[in-house]
Amino acid sequence: MEREMVYKSNDINVVMALSELRKNIISWFPIRENSEILEIGGNYGEITEELCKKGKTVSIEPDKDKAQIIFERLKNVSNLEIISKKLDEIKFEKKFDYIVLIGCVENINNIYGEYKNNSEALLELLKYLQTLLKPSGKILLAFDNKYAIKYWAGAVNNRGEIAYKSLFDEENALYKEKIEEIIKNACYNNIKFYYPLPDYKLANVIYSSEYLPKPNEAKLRYYAYYNDYSNIIFNEINAINSLARDGKFEHFTNSYFIEISNDEIMCDTKFVSFNNLRKRKNRLITRIVGDKVYKESVEDESQQFMEEYLNNLDRLKKLGFNSIEKIEENKAVSPYLNYMTLTEKLVDYAKNDNMDLFYETINEWYEKLKNLLGIIQVINNENNKSGLNYTNNGFIDLTFDNVFVNNNEYYVLDQEWFKENIPIEFILYRSIYNMYEYNPELNKIVEKNIIMNKFNLTEHEEYFEELEKQFRNEVTDSDVIEFYNSTYKNVLYLNDLVNNYNELISNNEKLKENINYFIENENKLNEKISELSDIIEGQNNKLNNENNEINKLNSELIEIKKTKTWKLVNYFKRNGENDRR
C-alpha cells in the first residue's frame, strides 16, 4: 500500500500496521553494529525492518498469518529469520546481544507459556530471557502504562476494552513501580526508563528520567490520537502539562520504553524528537546525548534539507549571531545549554511583575533582529505591506523558544528555515504568538493583544496569519495531520460538558423566570377576570331585577286593561280625539 493511502485510509489499524512512524521507538537506539537481535512478537513487522538495518534479526511471531505478512513485506531482506512458533517451543542455539519486546507485553500468553496474568507471565519470561542474553546483552521493552493520562481522559486501549477498565485491572495492566518490581525479581541489575509521546506506537518525542519535560514546553504539545469508541472528556495535553509541573509526569505518561541489562547501561541518550507532522523531506531528528545535542536527517528524502540546515549555520555566523552549532559528519552538533530560553526569561519577568524588563527585553531582541538580519528596500505591492521591515535573511524560527540567554548574551539554535523577502515583524509576531500558545497563563498578567499592539503588529495580523498558513502548508504532511484529526470522533471535553451544563442551567433559570412571569401575569389576569365577572354578575342581577319589575308592571297593566275604568278612559280618550277632529 502506498504511503499516502496508509494515512488517507483514516483507519487506525492500518496506520498501526503500516506507518513508517512505528519504527521511531527503536530507530534512535544505539544498537551496536552487526549485533545478534531477537524480536519477540513481530506482529506485522512494524519495526522488524529497522532491526534488520542494525543487525542479524530473528523475529518470533506465533500467528502464522502475521508471520506470512512479515515475510511478504521483507522477503528481500537477507539477514532476517522468521519463526512462527511460541517462544517456549523453540530451541535456540545461540545467544543474543539485544532482545526486543515492543507491544507484546499485554498478550504474553500468546507468545510464551500459559499464565494466569500478565505480571506472572512477564516475570517468568524475563527469567527465561536471562538464558538467551549475552553477558553484555540488553532487553528493550515497550508497553502502555496502566495509569496513562489518555486512559483517564477516556481512551479505549488496544484490546478494545471499555474505557477506564485498565485503570482497575490489578493483574494484567502494568505501571512503573510494578514493572520495576518484576525486573528486580527477575534478577536484572540495571534499568533505564524512557517516556515516548504520544506513546510508543507513534513516538514523536522521547523523554528520559535524565531529561524530563518542562511545563509548557513546545514538545509537550504533541498530537494525541484515539482508538474507535473512545469518549474523551478532557484535553490530555493540558493534563500532561500540569503533571509535568507537579512532578508526576513519569507516573501518568502514556507509554514506557525500557532498557534492561545485567551489564552497565551504555545508552546515554536523554531526549529524542522526530517531527512526525512534517513532510518526509523536512524531517530531521534531534537527540540529546550526554552533554551534546545532535541534529541529523531521519529519512533519505531529508538529506537535502539537512544540507540546507548546515548552510544556515554559516549564514547565521556571517550575520553576527551567536550560533554554537558545529558541523560534524553531516550532522549539526552543539553543547547542551542549560541556559534559560528567552521565553522562560520573559515569562519569569511577567510573573514577577517586572513588566519594564519584559518590554525592554522584547524590544532589545527586536532591534537586534533588525540590526543583524538587515533591512531591504521593497516596493509596496500585494506581496509587500507598508510599515514593515523586510529582510532577505528570513530565519523565521528566530523565536523566543530558540534563543538562549546567558549574561545578557543571546545564543540561537535550531534555525531550519531560511526565506527571502520576509518581514522581521513576522518573526516577532511568531515569537509572541508561540509564547502565549505555550504559556496561556500569561494572559492573566498581560493579554497577548496588548503586546501585539505595543509593537504595532495587530494591524498586520491577517497578513501574518496568511504567511504562517503558507509556511505550514509548505512544511507539514497533510495526510498525517488528517489521520490524527480523524481519530477525534467522540471528543467532548469535560470543560465543554461543564459549560454546556452551566448553559442549560442558565437557560433553565431563564425559562423558570419566563414561566413565573407568565404565571404571575396569569394570576393578575385571573384576578381581573374575576373582578369583571363580579361586575358582570352584578349588572346581570340588576338587569334581572329590572326585568322582573317590568314584567310585574306589564302584568299589572294587563289587569288594569281588563277593568271598566280602563275601558271608560279608553272610550273617552278615543271620542275626545274624534271631537277635536
* pTM of model > 0.75: yes
HSE, side-chain direction, 13 A CA sphere, residue 23: 17
pLDDT of residue 2: 61
Most confident range (mean pLDDT) of 56-60, 169-173, 505-509 is 56-60
HSE, side-chain direction, 13 A CA sphere, residue 151: 26
Strand partners, 479: none
Q: Quick one: average pLDDT of 553-570?
A: 72
Contact 326, 334 (CB under 8 A): yes
Peptide bond into 198 cis (omega under 30): yes
Locate 340 and state its grid cell.
Answer: 534559560
Is beta strand 133-144 parallel, antiparallel or unpaired with respect to 96-102?
Answer: parallel
CB atoms within 10 A of CB 95: 14
Residue 464, class by beta-carbon neighbours within 10 Å (0-12 exposed, 13-18 middle, 19+ buried)? buried
pLDDT of residue 581: 43
pLDDT in tens, 27-47: 999 999 899 999 999 999 999
pLDDT of residue 213: 93
Q: Quick one: average pLDDT of 161-171?
A: 73
pLDDT of residue 578: 47
pLDDT of residue 575: 63
Measuring CA to CA, which residue among 380, 374, 363, 386 is closest to residue 459? 386
Helix (H) or strand (E) holding 138: strand 133-144
pLDDT in tens, 199-219: 999 999 999 999 999 888 888
Does position 303 have pLDDT exceeding 80, yes or no? yes
Residue 537, class by beta-carbon neighbours within 10 Å (0-12 exposed, 13-18 middle, 19+ buried)? exposed
Reported confidence tier of residue 580, pLDDT bands at 50, 70, 90 = very low
Q: What is the mean pLDDT of the chain?
A: 88
Q: Which long-range contacts (CB under 8 A, 24 or more apart) does 43-46 make?
A: 43/17, 43/103, 43/104, 44/17, 44/18, 44/69, 44/70, 44/73, 45/69, 45/70, 45/73, 45/74, 46/16, 46/17, 46/18, 46/19, 46/22, 46/102
CA–CA gap between residue 46 and residue 27 (Å, rounded): 12
CA–CA gap between residue 506 and residue 483 (Å, rounded): 37
